[in-house]
């Protein structure tokens, strides 16, 4: 069959390119060419779904998100290794081994700081991936494993059952990129690559896992129907021939040489794309392993040497303050160069003012610097007996070192933030938020496009978006004339947005969507809101004194006034489209569930809010009414259990005045309080 032959050819070609790119790190075609081949295969499979197979490159990202992970009982337990922490303990391990086996050959490999996972293949086809769990029982993460491009979905020459074990990790470069994106989106940052990998592999939605860029390296065969191997190194070579990414290893019969290599590996750990927290030393001969046996917890033929956190003295030459993309001021110590974990350290994080104060770190101090599993070294303690005379306690500046705007401390944390609306350090974050769907809703202006505009020098404040040159935008990478036209049209359209969206787009602290809607509806214009006193602001329900202070401070800032003037000049709407807020539903909390045919859930919530109601996302005893559309689920069941009134879509439309019906009866049903 001609179509089947073309599909088979495309799969072979794409798998070859995946291997070259993700395992060998040697791409042989451009991303553009690869995407075209993949698109052709997707189109053929869409037209002939009966020809889709689980090992097709198109099946890397699976179907629907899961609600929970199934448990998996491991056919062969995934054991842990006994840790050793000193050269003496490592030498003792060697002596115990050599008492039981002669002419021992050792295999040394880096210990990847990731998540241990077992992969199962049947007749060469990948069928399941499971986490280690407690070694006996793990979790089925098959769909997320499929998203890891370096893992082959089909093997040639591996009939029967094959179960292999490896470590899933997030490459350091990927980790840095992910944290940059999370910072732009105002999300919490991952502490280190291992935490990021763990969180990614346990995503119930495989599409999220796919976007995280995980990788995996193998280090063991758990079970195979292949004829037995004589050595571990031979089994690893066989796995490499099957096109797996396999851990680097060294073989030696000299324990002293192995020890030297362990310490050299620690010095060279920065050369790997993944974090390593130790070195694994194993007996290479599988027959010797059988003789040595195992305890109830660990095999006797292997040990994991754990690198201690290196600590060395250095001197604080200076303290500099960086302003992050969310406006957070982060102090950093400039220290005299010191060698730690294979790299020369010249900077150490100081986290925040509380950290500096607690440890009493001052410029000129001799300090103990540590690098242990984190990307940036930190100061552990101060050697106070070496403190020079005349040093002063350090305090973070009262104004932003980048733009000069005042700084404020989080009311619920240790962070200190810049308040500048046009602070250059926050430009990427501010623009990304300004263009987001719930703010100005500029389609096509995501983080990548924002970054391209900023790097090209086309945008320095949000107001610059409304003066972009079409030809300049079209020349940006991956843009072109058509995309430039679409982007400029979306920017032009955003000028007509309601004032509430503009207020949210400003990113004023504690002014979210709902507050923006309430403020816009109450004051009607931005000028009226800007002129409001704290007393007038707190008169609005749900606007407290803290939010009122944030608002008055923001509008008083010269940067804010400059931004507002520039947006006005560009023609951005500064008025509310909302009708005067009614009070027909005041005092009632509504919850929406299921799908309505007339409105989206957000639009329906806005209509209820315009009549004075509160809209919540969860059902509780305080809920006054639930609006249930098609396919309503657990919220409807909970409402019925609690005896909360439930309205269907027709009753909802009657309630908001858009359909004929007995409105009084519906109001009586939901227990509208007398006014």
- Residue 469 phi, psi dihedral angles, 5° rounding: -90, 125
**What sections of 539-648 are H helices per DSSP?**
545-556, 558-570, 601-609, 634-642
Please say if the pLDDT value at position 675 is more than 50: no
For the ranges 34-38, 68-72, 648-652, the one whose mean pLDDT is highest? 648-652
Distance CA 434, CA 446 (A): 10
Q: Point out the residues that are catalytic.
A: 111
What is the predicted pLDDT for the residue at 568?
96
> Taking the CA atoms of the chain, what radius of gyration do you get in angstroms?
31
Structure tokens at 410: 């989080």
Distance CA 378, CA 381 (A): 9
The secondary structure of the chain in percent helix, strand, coil, rounded to multiples of 5, reads: 40, 20, 40
Q: Give the chain's length.
A: 675
Best CA proximity match to 243, nearest among 168, 181, 308, 152: 152
* DSSP assignments along 455-519, one per residue: HTT--SSGGGGGG--HHHHHTSTTTHHHHHHHHHHHHHHHTT--HHHHHHHTT-TT--HHHHHHH
Distance CA 581, CA 497 (A): 19
What is the predicted pLDDT for the residue at 224?
95
pLDDT one-digit tens code per residue, 336-364: 998 886 678 899 989 889 999 999 999 99
Using an 8 Å Cβ cutoff, are 326 and 509 in contact?
no
> Checking DSSP bridges between strand 625-628 and strand 614-616, what pairing results, if any?
unpaired
> Domain 310-386, what architecture?
Beta Barrel (2.40)
pLDDT one-digit tens code per residue, 178-228: 887 887 776 777 878 888 888 888 888 888 888 889 999 999 999 999 999
Average pLDDT of span 222-247: 95
Best CA proximity match to 450, nearest among 468, 431, 467: 431
Please say if the pLDDT value at position 583 is more than 80: no
Using an 8 Å Cβ cutoff, are 203 and 209 in contact?
yes
Distance CA 176, CA 189 (A): 10
Q: What ranges do the domains of the chain cover?
A: 2-59, 83-306, 310-386, 419-578, 589-669
Average pLDDT of span 224-240: 95
Distance CA 520, CA 89 (A): 69
Residue 399 CB coordination number (10 Å) = 13
> Average model confidence (pLDDT) for the chain?
88
Q: Does domain 2-59 have CATH number 3.30.360.10?
A: no
Average pLDDT of span 56-77: 75
Burial class (CB in 10 A: 0-12, 13-18, 19+), 5: exposed
Q: 168 vs 218, 220, 246, 532, 671, CA distance in Å?
A: 9, 13, 12, 55, 55
What is the predicted pLDDT for the residue at 404?
92
Top CATH class, 589-669: alpha beta
- Residue 506 phi, psi dihedral angles, 5° rounding: -65, -25
Top CATH class, 419-578: mainly alpha
Question: CATH for 83-306, among 3.30.470.30, 3.40.190.10, 1.10.287.130, 3.90.1300.10?
Answer: 3.30.470.30
Average pLDDT of span 380-404: 94
Distance CA 138, CA 71 (A): 6
Provide the pLDDT confidence category of residue 31 given band limits of 50, 70 and 90.
low
């Amino acid at each position: 069959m001609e179509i089947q032959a073309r599909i088979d050819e495309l799969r072979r070609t794409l798998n070859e390119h995946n291997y070259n790119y993700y395992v060998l790190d040697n791409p042989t075609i451009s991303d553009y060419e690869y995407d075209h081949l993949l698109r052709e295969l997707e189109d053929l499979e869409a037209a002939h779904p009966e020809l889709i197979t689980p090992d097709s490159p198109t099946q890397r990202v699976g179907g629907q998100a899961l609600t929970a992970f199934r448990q998996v009982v491991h056919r062969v337990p995934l054991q842990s290794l006994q840790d050793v922490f000193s050269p003496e303990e490592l030498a003792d391990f060697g002596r115990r081994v050599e008492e039981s086996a002669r002419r021992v050959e050792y295999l040394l490999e880096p210990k990847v700081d990731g998540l241990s996972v077992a992969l199962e293949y049947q007749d060469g086809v990948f069928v399941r991936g499971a986490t280690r769990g407690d070694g006996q029982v793990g979790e089925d993460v098959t769909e997320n494993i499929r998203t890891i491009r370096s893992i082959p979905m089909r093997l040639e020459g591996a009939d029967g059952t094959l179960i292999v074990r490896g470590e899933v990790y997030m490459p350091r470069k990927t980790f840095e990129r992910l944290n940059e994106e999370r910072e732009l989106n105002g999300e919490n940052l991952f502490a280190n690559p291992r935490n990021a990998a763990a969180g990614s592999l346990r995503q119930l939605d495989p599409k999220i896992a796919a976007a995280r860029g995980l990788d995996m390296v193998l280090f063991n065969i758990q079970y195979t129907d292949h004829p037995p191997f004589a050595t571990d190194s031979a089994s690893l070579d066989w796995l490499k021939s099957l096109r797996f990414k396999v851990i680097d290893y060294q073989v030696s019969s000299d324990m002293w040489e192995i020890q030297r290599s362990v310490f050299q590996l620690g010095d060279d750990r920065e050369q790997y794309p993944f974090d390593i927290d130790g070195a694994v030393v194993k007996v290479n001969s599988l027959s010797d392993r059988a003789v040595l046996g195992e305890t109830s917890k660990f095999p006797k033929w292997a040990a994991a040497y754990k690198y201690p956190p290196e600590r060395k003295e250095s001197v604080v030459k200076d303290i500099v303050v960086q302003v992050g993309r969310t406006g957070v001021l982060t102090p950093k110590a400039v220290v005299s160069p010191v060698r730690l974990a294979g790299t020369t350290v010249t900077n150490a994080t100081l986290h925040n003012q509380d950290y500096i104060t607690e440890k009493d770190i001052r410029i000129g101090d001799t300090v103990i610097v540590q690098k242990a599993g984190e990307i940036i070294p930190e100061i552990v303690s101060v050697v106070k007996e070496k403190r020079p005379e005349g040093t002063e306690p350090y305090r973070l500046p009262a104004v932003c070192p980048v733009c000069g705007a005042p700084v404020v401390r989080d009311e619920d944390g240790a962070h200190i933030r810049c308040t500048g609306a046009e602070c250059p350090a926050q430009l990427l974050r501010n623009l990304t938020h300004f263009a987001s769907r719930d703010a100005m809703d500029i389609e096509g202006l995501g983080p990548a496009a924002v970054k391209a505009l900023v790097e090209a020098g086309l945008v320095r404040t949000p107001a610059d978006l409304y003066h972009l040159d079409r030809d300049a935008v079209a020349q940006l990478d991956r843009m072109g004339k058509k995309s430039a036209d679409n982007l400029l049209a979306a920017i032009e359209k955003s000028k007509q947005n309601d004032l509430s969206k503009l207020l949210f787009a400003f990113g004023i602290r504690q002014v979210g969507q709902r507050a923006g809607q309430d403020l816009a509806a109450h004051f009607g214009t931005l000028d009226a809101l800007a002129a409001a006193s704290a007393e007038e602001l707190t008169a609005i329900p749900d606007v407290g004194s803290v939010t009122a202070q944030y608002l008055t401070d923001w509008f008083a800032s010269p940067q804010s006034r400059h931004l507002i003037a520039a947006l006005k000049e560009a023609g951005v709407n500064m008025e509310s489209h909302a009708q005067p807020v009614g009070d027909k539903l005041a005092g009632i909390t509504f919850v929406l569930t299921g799908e309505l045919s007339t409105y989206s859930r957000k639009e329906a919530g806005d209509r209820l809010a315009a009549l004075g109601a509160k809209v919540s996302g969860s059902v509780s005893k305080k809920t006054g009414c639930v609006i249930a559309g098609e396919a309503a689920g657990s919220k409807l069941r909970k409402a019925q259990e609690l005896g909360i009134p439930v309205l269907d879509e027709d009753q909802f439309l009657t309630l908001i005045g858009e359909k004929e019906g007995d409105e009084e009866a519906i109001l009586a049903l939901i227990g509208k309080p007398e006014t």
